[in-house]
């Protein structure tokens, strides 16, 4: 009988598992549910932004293909038209296809640059969401590990400060891959102008 009482007292004195402690505390339980829901929302936003980045990259690839397809088709048509003009009258009007080619090239280059900027901006937002997910996951793990020992005011305040004081590293503006892509397509456009003149006038 005495042994049973000792066992019962030992069982009562044995601390509960942190998850049991959380289940018995309405505040901790509510906070855990809120964080798990927020974590799920963040993961959803991460998946959405990854899908957006994939879509933008496909659009950029399509613009690349359209750029080269447009100029190759234009050069073929100009060459066939020039071959049917033995008098060379088209050479005097060569500024018309040259101007059209230049305007179309600039429009496509602007679209490529815009899409690459959108891609870069979305990638930054994705990194921020991933950082938020890491912070939240860390807090959830701490809450599950500590149970009632988890200081709500201190930890929640630390999470808020970590989000609000997060400062992005300001990198000095340098030449990026996007700048080189823009420069490359501009150089190709200039080359096409020269080829247009050569095809029409020779």
- In the chain, the N- to C-terminal Cα span, in Å, equals 114
Q: What is the predicted pLDDT for the residue at 12?
A: 47
Provide the CA 146 distance to its chain's centre, in angstroms: 35
Q: What is the DSSP letter of 94?
A: T
Mind listing the pLDDT tens digit of every residue in the chain (202 residues)? 444 444 444 444 456 666 666 666 677 677 778 878 988 999 999 999 999 999 999 999 999 999 999 988 888 887 777 677 666 566 677 677 778 888 999 999 999 999 999 999 999 999 988 988 888 888 778 777 776 666 666 666 666 666 665 555 455 567 777 888 889 988 988 888 888 777 777 6
The domain ranges of the chain are 17-201
Q: Residue 123 in contact with residue 46, Cβ under 8 Å?
A: no
Long-range contacts of 137-141 (CB under 8 A, 24+ apart): 137/39, 139/35, 140/32, 140/35, 140/36, 140/39
The two structure tokens encoding residue 73: 């088709």
Strand ranges in 15-121 using DSSP code E only, listed in sequence order: none
Question: Residue 178 and residue 182: Cα distance in Å, rounded?
Answer: 6
Distance, in Å, from the CA atom of 144 to the CA atom of 159, rounded to the nearest integer, reads 16
Helix (H) or strand (E) holding 185: helix 177-201
Note the pLDDT of residue 9: 46
Report the pLDDT value the prediction gives residue 50, as an integer from 0 to 100: 95
Residue 93 CB coordination number (10 Å): 11
| Token duo for residue 81 | 């038209």
Report pLDDT for 71: 87
Q: Which residues neighbour 196 within 8 Å (Cβ) at sequence distance 6 or greater? A: 74, 75, 78, 94, 97, 98, 101
């Amino acid at each position: 009988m005495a042994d049973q009482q000792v066992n019962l007292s030992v069982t009562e004195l044995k601390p509960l598992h942190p998850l049991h402690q959380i289940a018995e505390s309405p505040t901790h339980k509510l906070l855990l549910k809120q964080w798990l829901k927020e974590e799920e929302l963040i993961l959803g936003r991460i998946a959405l932004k990854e899908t957006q980045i994939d879509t933008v990259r496909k659009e950029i690839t399509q613009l690349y293909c359209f750029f080269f397809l447009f100029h190759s088709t234009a050069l073929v048509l100009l060459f066939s038209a020039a071959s049917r003009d033995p008098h060379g009258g088209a050479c005097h009007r060569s500024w018309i296809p040259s101007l059209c080619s230049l305007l179309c090239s600039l429009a496509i280059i602007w679209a490529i640059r815009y899409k690459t900027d959108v891609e870069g901006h979305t990638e930054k937002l994705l990194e921020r969401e991933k950082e938020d997910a890491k912070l939240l996951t860390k807090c959830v793990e701490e809450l599950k590990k500590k149970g009632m020992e988890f200081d709500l005011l201190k930890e929640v305040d630390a999470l808020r400060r970590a989000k609000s004081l997060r400062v992005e590293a300001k990198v000095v503006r340098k030449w990026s891959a996007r700048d080189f892509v823009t420069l490359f397509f501009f150089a190709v456009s200039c080359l096409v102008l020269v080829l247009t003149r050569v095809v029409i006038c020779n």
